[in-house]
A and B are shown apart, each in its own frame.
Chain A
Amino acid sequence: MELIVAATVGVLTSAGIYLILRLRTFPVILGMAMLSYAVNVFLFSTGRLATGMPPVLDHHAKHVDPSLYTDPLPQALVLTAIVISFGMTAVLVLISLGAFLEAKHDKIDISDEEADA
């Protein structure tokens, strides 16, 4: 379980970084999406991994056993992060489209000649 989660985060992150370094808008958008998936999975793991456990403590149990419980806070953090990254991706797509339509190409880096023009 730990190995799968760790490998997922690692593969998604490296794929995301590779795509961002392509410096073309479409791969960069995909790379950003990969990175945000990676960070969402990573946030889940910060509350210790547990499968099939409720995110509430059993109030009536005689002994509260923390191993029968999953931390709800990272889930709330992931939810917030998903919403924000969704909105940000939409903004990124629109700005990329605007830049593509104005410049007629999808390169992200700006050369010195263009910067001085």
Chain B
Amino acid sequence: MSHWIIAPVILPALLAPLIGFVMRHDKVLSRSASVAGCVALVVIALGLLNMAADGTVHVYRLGDWPAPFGIVLVLDRLSALMVLLTSVLALIVLLHVIGTDWDQRGRHFHALYQFQLMGICGAFLTGDAFNLFVFFEVLLIASYGLMIHGGGQARLRAGLQYVVMNLGGSTLFLFALGTLYAATGTLNIADLAVKVREIPLEDAAILRVAAILLLVVFAIKAALFPVQFWLPGTYANAPAPVAALFAIMTKVGAYAILRFYTVIFGPDVPAIGDMPELWIKIGALITIAVGAFGVLGARRLMPLIAFSVVGSMGTLLLAIAVFTPQSVTAALYYLLHSTFAAAALFLIGDLVTTRRGASADSLLPAPPIANNGLLAAAFFIAAIGMAGMPPISGFLGKLLILDAFQGQAHQAIAWAAILVTSLMVIVGFARAGSLIFWKAEGVVAVDGHGALTETPAPVPVAGPSQPNVGIAFVAIGACLSMLFLLSIFAGPVTSYLTATSAELFDPAAYVDAVLSGGN
């Protein structure tokens, strides 16, 4: 029983109060501690990935109580991968925050950030459904603080909607867990996997209710239609780096759907059958359409990016909904890609918004900004990544998903949805990019009387000056290079993901490792 498994939870949990109580008055100290924590988290996550890569399922029994009586943390290929993704993204976003001084616009940013990481890592590692609820609450309560960081009317009101939405979701989660416990008498994921397969068909009604309630809860997290409407307002009004970190939060929902509807309510459970498959497919198709139309209709850059995230979640869940090992491999690859693509877009959007001053992120021509060419190039790369154009990983991800649909039910609808919406997203991003970066070159400043001045306006430097903004460019570069690395190393990555999805569809090893109390 390796104690390193709990390190991604313990480390941020200890660091957060330390930053919050001891280091809060010292900018440099709290920043260094936060970066050090994130670097350590990346190293630990790499170690865990290395541990899990051979296919053994490692179990950490809290208090050494044997499952299913105690709570267990379970490290398998999927959770190791998700923890690594979280830690890398967290480090990149943190660098951007430091480069743009976002952490100085309110209090306790770094403490909340670490609590957020604790909740996300815990949700990925836990092997107990109720413990998953607790970690959801930890990551949510930290996200409430991060969402309204910096304040302002629009952000507070959007934050209030976000909080109410998620409180409703949490209550529903408790109802679902109660129903599940009433039907099976356990909440340990491995034990549930055994028990739901023993329930006779005539007693399965309560179980089906629990399965659908849980699906709604995870759909709220994953922004699946019809409960996707909280996402655009939240992401567009949150501080941009926080929105970039939230790119992983929707993936927590996708992860939970993947874990619960393969290991517990798998396609082989007679009481459930293909019910989740059908519901997720319908929801995902509409989500893709909502995302694409939102991208076309957006009048500001941040909502446009937020709608593209909705569309990418739809694509991801559509791939998951096929529930074959091949489709889950494709979905996981697309998950890695879309997390970094969305984060890169939000980080670029942040720099663009602060540099445009009063025009902020509205899609109207304004005088050119500092580093216009560099930001335009970065936006171009991230946008083709998000739209799924070659040569970077978005193209490979969508290709894998299309391939996974080959010969499956609803192939024609799925192909049409993915291809048509990709085109719409390309149009939307091309419009936004040309309005913000390209048309700007032709705009000259207008003086007070409406007459054109002779020289182009000086570059507006809006808000507080950002002396360390170079670090933010490094962060964006790192985010984009992840997309390139994903496509260069697509071979090794997909072979790891193939093993991951094979593990999900054959949960015997997972169940044995948890219930036998081995290693």
Residue A70 CB within 8 A of the other chain: no
**Complex CA–CA separation, A35 to B175 (angstroms):** 10
Given contacts A42-B178, A46-B182, A98-B156, contact A88 B168 (CB under 8 A): no
Q: Do the beta carbons of B175 and A102 come within 8 Å of each other? A: no
| In the bound complex, CA of A16 to CA of B287 (Å) | 28
Tell me whether A95 and B160 are in contact (CB under 8 A): yes
Which residues between 437 and 495 of chain B lie within 8 Å of chain A, taking CB atoms? none
Please state if B233 and A39 are interface contacts (CB–CB under 8 Å).
no
* Listed residue (A42, A88, A92) with the most chain B CB atoms within 10 angstroms of its CB: A88
Closest-by-CB residue of A relative to B174 is A39
Partner of B148, one of A35, A42, A98, A108: A98
**A91 near B163 (CB under 8 angstroms)?**
yes
A95 vs B203: C-alpha distance when bound (angstroms): 44
CB of B28 closer than 8 Å to a CB of A: no
**Pick from A74, A77, A88: contact of B167, CB under 8 Å:** A88
Residues A28 and B164 in contact in the complex (CB < 8 Å), given A103-B157, A116-B299: yes
B187 neighbours in A (Cβ, 8 Å): 73
- Which B residue's beta carbon lies closest to that of A41? B178
Kindly provide the distance from the CB of B462 to the nearest chain A CB, expressed in whole angstroms: 18
- Interchain CB contact under 8 A, A95 and B163: yes
With beta carbons under 8 angstroms apart, the residue of A47, A96, A116, A117 that contacts B181 is A47
B153: interface (CB < 8 Å): yes
- Contact pattern, B 139-179, Cβ under 8 Å of A = 1, otherwise 0: 00100100010011110111111011001101100110111
B160 contact set on A, CB distance < 8 A: 25, 95-96, 99, 108
Complex Cα spacing A103 to B158, Å: 12
Residues B158 and A110 in contact, CB atoms below 8 Å apart: yes
- A99 B178 Cβ-Cβ under 8 A: no
Which of B156, B171, B175 has a CB less than 8 Å from the CB of A95? B156
> Would you call B168 and A99 a contact (CB within 8 A)?
no
| Known contacts A46-B178, A81-B174; is-contact A20 B164 (Cβ 8 Å) | yes
Q: Is the CB of A91 within 8 A of B178?
A: no
CB neighbors of B among A1-52 (8 A)? 20, 25, 28, 32, 35-36, 39, 42-43, 45-47
Known: A43-B178, A88-B170, A102-B152. A95 touches B233 (CB 8 A): no
Say yes or no: is B300 at the interface (Cβ < 8 Å to chain A). Answer: yes
**In whole angstroms, how far apart are the Cα atoms of A108 and B161 in the complex?**
7
- B134 part of interface (Cβ distance < 8 Å): yes
Q: A70-116: which have CB < 8 Å to B?
A: 73-74, 77, 80-81, 84-85, 87-88, 91-92, 95-96, 98-99, 102-103, 108-110, 114-116
Band of interface residues on B: 20 to 34
Q: Are A36 and B171 also in contact (CB < 8 A) when A77-B130, A95-B144, A95-B159 are?
A: yes
Contact assessment for B153 and A92 in the assembled complex, using a CB-CB cutoff below 8 Å: no
The residue of chain B having its C-beta at the shortest distance from the C-beta of A71 within the complex is B185
Residues of chain B within 8 A (CB-CB) of A87 are 141
Whole-angstrom distance between the alpha carbons of A110 and B159 in the complex?
Answer: 11
When distances are taken between beta carbons in the complex, the residues of chain B under 8 Å from A74 are 178, 181
**Within the complex, which residue of B137, B161, B175 is in contact with A84, where a contact is CB–CB below 8 Å?**
B137
B516 to chain A, nearest CB (A): 22
Do B153 and A102 touch (CB < 8 A)?
Answer: yes
> Does the CB pair A103–B153 fall under 8 Å?
yes
Give Cα A97–Cα B134 distance, bound, in whole angstroms. 26
A108 to B153, CA, bound (A): 12
Bound-complex Cα distance A116 to B177 (A): 39
Known: A91-B163, A102-B153, A110-B157. A35 touches B144 (CB 8 A): no
- Write out the residue numbers on chain B whose beta carbons fall within 8 Å of the beta carbon of A25: 160
Q: Cα distance A77–B148 when bound, in Å? A: 30
List CB contacts (< 8 Å) of B368-403 with chain A.
none
Given that A74-B181, A95-B144 are contacting pairs, would A35 and B171 also be in contact in the complex, using a CB cutoff of 8 Å? yes
| Chain A nearest Cβ from B317, distance in angstroms | 26
Distance (Å) between the CB of A31 and the closest chain B CB? Answer: 9
Q: Are A92 and B233 in contact (CB under 8 A)?
A: no
Give the CA-CA distance A14 to B137 in the complex, in Å: 24
B303 to A, closest residue via Cβ:
A115
Q: Closest B-chain residue to A16, C-beta based?
A: B171
Measured in the bound complex, the distance between the Cα atoms of B178 and A73 in whole Å is: 11
Residues of A near B177 (CB, < 8 A) are 43, 77
CA distance A43 to B181 in the complex (A): 9
Closest B residue by C-beta to A9: B175
By the criterion CB–CB under 8 Å, are A99 and B167 in contact?
no
Beyond the given pairs A46-B181, A91-B163, 18 more chain A to chain B contacts, judged by CB atoms under 8 angstroms and listed by A's residue number, are A20-B164, A32-B164, A39-B171, A43-B177, A45-B178, A47-B181, A74-B181, A77-B130, A77-B177, A77-B178, A80-B130, A88-B141, A99-B157, A102-B152, A102-B157, A110-B233, A115-B233, A115-B303
Q: List 20 A-B contacts (CB under 8 A).
A: A28-B164, A32-B168, A32-B171, A39-B175, A43-B178, A45-B182, A46-B182, A77-B178, A81-B174, A87-B141, A88-B170, A91-B141, A92-B164, A92-B167, A95-B148, A98-B151, A98-B156, A102-B156, A103-B156, A117-B154
Across the A-B interface, the 8 shortest Cβ-Cβ residue pairs = A46-B182, A102-B153, A99-B156, A46-B178, A39-B174, A99-B160, A43-B178, A35-B171
Which B residues are within 8 Å of any A CB, using their own CB? 130, 134, 137, 141, 144, 148, 151-154, 156-161, 163-164, 167-168, 170-171, 174-175, 177-179, 181-182, 187, 233, 299-300, 303
